[in-house]
Amino acid sequence: MQPNALLDALLAEAGMSHAGLAAHVNQAGRSRGLALRYEHTAVNRWLKGQRPRGQVPDLICEVLGGRLRRPVSLDDVGFGVPGQPAGPHASPLSGFVDRAAALWRSDEQGRFPLHAAPALTGTPAVIPVWEWENPPEDADVSRDGPLRVGPGHIEVLRAARAHYELMYRRAGGIATRARIVRFLGSETAPLLRGSYPDDLGRRLHRAAGSLVAVAGICAYDSDAHGLAQRYFHQALRLAKASGDRGLGAYVIALLVNQSLHLRDHRQAVAFAETALRAAGRHTTAALAADLYAMQAKAYAQLGDTTAALGCIRHAEAAAERIRPGCEPDETGYVQPGLVNVQVAEALLSLGELDAAHEQAAAAVGTPAHDRGRVHRLAMLCEIQLRQGEADRAAAAAAEMAERAKGMESQRLRDRMRAVREQLLSSGCSGAEETARLIDGALSVPL
CB 218 within 8 A of CB 177: yes
Task: Give the model's pLDDT for residue 135.
Answer: 92
Shared-domain flag, residues 95 and 230: yes
Which one of 30-44, 85-99, 304-318 scores highest in mean pLDDT? 304-318
CB 119 within 8 A of CB 229: yes
Shared-domain flag, residues 37 and 132: no
Query: Residue 108: in which H helix or E strand, if any?
Result: helix 93-109
The CA distance from 17 to 63, in Å, is 13
Task: Give the model's pLDDT for residue 446.
Answer: 55
Task: Give the model's pLDDT for residue 4.
Answer: 85
Q: Is residue 59 assigned to a domain?
A: yes
Longest dimension (CA), the chain: 82
Shared-domain flag, residues 79 and 204: no
Shared-domain flag, residues 156 and 198: yes
Task: Give the model's pLDDT for residue 116.
Answer: 82
Instruction: Give the pLDDT mean for 80-94.
Output: 56
Whole-angstrom CA distances from 204 to 15, 192, 193, 309, 317 are: 28, 7, 11, 40, 34
The CA distance from 311 to 297, in Å, is 9
Per-residue pLDDT at 387 exceeds 80: yes
Residues 432/175/164/403 CA torsion (nearest 10 deg): -10
CB 89 within 8 A of CB 237: yes
85, 110, 143 - which closes a domain: 85
Q: Quick check: helix, strand or coil at residue 143? A: strand
Which one of 8-22, 99-113, 339-353, 365-379 scores highest in mean pLDDT? 339-353
Q: Is residue 194 assigned to a domain?
A: yes
Instruction: Give the pLDDT mean for 71-89.
Output: 66
Shared-domain flag, residues 99 and 230: yes
Shared-domain flag, residues 203 and 184: yes
Shared-domain flag, residues 80 and 175: no
Instruction: Give the pLDDT mean for 425-433.
Output: 85
The residues near 160 (Cβ < 8 Å, ≥ 6 apart) are: 180, 183, 187, 211
Q: Quick check: helix, strand or coil at residue 310? A: helix
Shared-domain flag, residues 93 and 237: yes
Choose among 372, 306, 293: nearest CA to 340: 293
Domain span at 439:
385-446
Q: CB neighbours (10 Å) of residue 229?
A: 26
The CA distance from 291 to 261, in Å, is 15
Shared-domain flag, residues 77 and 112: no
Whole-angstrom CA distances from 433 to 70, 157, 214, 334, 424 are: 65, 45, 36, 33, 10
Query: Which tens digit of pLDDT belongs to each residue from 273-286?
Result: 999 999 999 999 99
Q: Quick check: helix, strand or coil at residue 148? A: strand
Shared-domain flag, residues 33 and 106: no
Per-residue pLDDT at 90 exceeds 70: no
Instruction: Give the pLDDT mean for 406-432.
Output: 89
Query: Which tens digit of pLDDT belongs to each residue from 243-276?
Result: 999 999 999 999 999 999 999 999 999 999 999 9
Task: Give the confidence band of 87 by pLDDT, cuts at 50, 70, 90.
Answer: very low
DSSP structure class, residue 115? G
Task: Give the confidence band of 72 by pLDDT, cuts at 50, 70, 90.
Answer: confident
Q: Is residue 356 assigned to a domain?
A: no
Q: Is residue 80 assigned to a domain?
A: yes
Side chain identity at residue 248, one-letter code: G
39, 64, 85 - which closes a domain: 85
Choose among 66, 194, 174: nearest CA to 410: 174
Q: Is residue 150 assigned to a domain?
A: yes
The CA distance from 25 to 14, in Å, is 14
Which one of 103-112, 229-238, 414-423 scores highest in mean pLDDT? 229-238
Q: CB neighbours (10 Å) of residue 443?
A: 8
The CA distance from 24 to 16, in Å, is 10
Task: Give the confidence band of 14 by pLDDT, cuts at 50, 70, 90.
Answer: confident
143: β partners: 196
Choose among 128, 109, 126, 107: nearest CA to 117: 107
Shared-domain flag, residues 127 and 159: yes
Per-residue pLDDT at 91 exceeds 80: no
The CA distance from 267 to 43, in Å, is 39
The CA distance from 55 to 58, in Å, is 5
Q: Is residue 420 assigned to a domain?
A: yes
Shared-domain flag, residues 78 and 111: no
Q: Is residue 338 assigned to a domain?
A: no
Instruction: Give the pLDDT mean for 288-313.
Output: 98
When the pLDDT of each residue in the chain is averaged and rounded to a whole number, the result is 92
64-99 CB burial, b ≥16 within 10 A, e <16: bbebeeeebeebbbbbbeeeeebbbbbbebeebbbb
Instruction: Give the pLDDT mean for 344-348.
Output: 97
35, 50, 85 - which closes a domain: 85
Side chain identity at residue 33, one-letter code: G
- Number of domains forming the structure of the chain: 3
Alpha carbon 227 to chain centroid, angstroms: 7
CB 258 within 8 A of CB 231: no
Whole-angstrom CA distances from 164 to 25, 41, 380, 405 are: 42, 39, 29, 19
Whole-angstrom CA distances from 367 to 204, 278, 332 are: 34, 33, 14
Query: Which tens digit of pLDDT belongs to each residue from 157-187?
Result: 999 999 999 999 999 999 999 999 999 999 9
Q: Is residue 252 assigned to a domain?
A: no
